[in-house]
Amino acid sequence: MAEELNEDIRRRLEKAVLEVFSDSDFHRASIRDIATRAGVSFTTIYKHYGSKEQLVFAFVDIWMGKLTDRIVDHLQGIENLKEKLRKVFWLQLDYYERHEGLGRIVFMTLPMKTWMSDTSFAQPRMMSLMIDVLRQGQQQGILNHQVRAGVLLDFLMGFVQRSFFMWILRGQKESLSAQANVMFEMVWQGMAQPSEAHPRPMAEGREQPTSRTGDASH
C-alpha cells in the first residue's frame, strides 16, 4: 500500500488541481503540469494516484463530500418539504458561487463520459439524501408522482448546472445565488403535483353530474 501523502503535499496538490483543471482543457492538462504547479514530483503523484483522471476525481470527490456535509447540516430541523428543497437548491448555487473553480471543473471541464465511469460520479451519499426527500414528497402527494424521483432530481440538478455555466458565460455580473428564491419557485412549479384546482375535462359522452339542488329550470 502506498505511503500516505503528508498534509502539506496534499494541500499543494489540491490547490494545483483546482487551478489547472478549472482553467485548462481537460485533455491538454497533464500530471506534469500539476507537479510543476504544486512543486511535487511526477513520481509522487503517479505513485499515489496512477493517472490524471484519478488525481482530479479524488479531489472532486472530497469537494463534493464537503457540499454534502453542508447540505446535511442545513437540513437539520427543517420539516417542510418545499423549504427543504429550497434550501438544497440555494446551497448548491451558493457553494458553486463560492467555489467557482469546482463548478468549472464539474460542469465545464470534466468529460462527462470519463467521469461517469468513475465511482466518484455517483456521489451516493448526496444522491441518496436528495432522492429520499423527493420520494417523501411524492408519497405525501406534494411532488409529481407520474415520474421517478430520479427524474425530479435530474430536473433540479439540471437547472443548477445550466444556471452556473450561463453565469460564467455572462461574466458573473450578478450573484449566482441572489435570485435563488425566484428561480426555485420556477423549479418548484415544474416538480410539484399538478394542481387539483384544474380538474381534467370530462371524457366525451360522459353525463354531467346532476345538481343536488334539482333541475335548474325549477
How confident is the model over 4-28, as pLDDT tens digits? Answer: 789 999 999 999 999 999 998 999 9
Q: Where in the chain is the domain with CATH 1.10.357.10?
A: 57-191
Return the percentage of the chain with pLDDT > 70, whole number.
Answer: 88
Nearest to 86 by CA among 185, 158, 177: 185
Pick the CATH number of 57-191 from 3.40.1480.10, 3.40.640.10, 1.10.357.10, 3.40.50.1370: 1.10.357.10
- In eight-state DSSP terms, residue 218 is -
Contact 160, 106 (CB under 8 A): no
Residue range 108-121: mean pLDDT, rounded = 93
Q: Where in the chain is the domain with CATH 1.10.10.60?
A: 1-50
C-alpha atoms less than 13 angstroms from C-alpha of 38 in its C-beta half-sphere: 27
Phi and psi angles of residue 143, each rounded to the nearest 5 degrees, phi first = -105, 155
CA distance 88 to 130: 8
CA distance 110 to 153: 21
Mean pLDDT for all residues in the chain: 88
CA distance 190 to 199: 18
Read off the pTM. Answer: 0.84
24 or 65, higher pLDDT? 65
Domain 1-50: CATH class, spelled out: mainly alpha
Q: Which three cell numbers stand for residue 172?
A: 458573473
Asked whether the predicted pLDDT for residue 211 surpasses 70, the reply is: no
Residue range 49-63: mean pLDDT, rounded = 95
Asked whether the predicted pLDDT for residue 168 surpasses 80, the reply is: yes
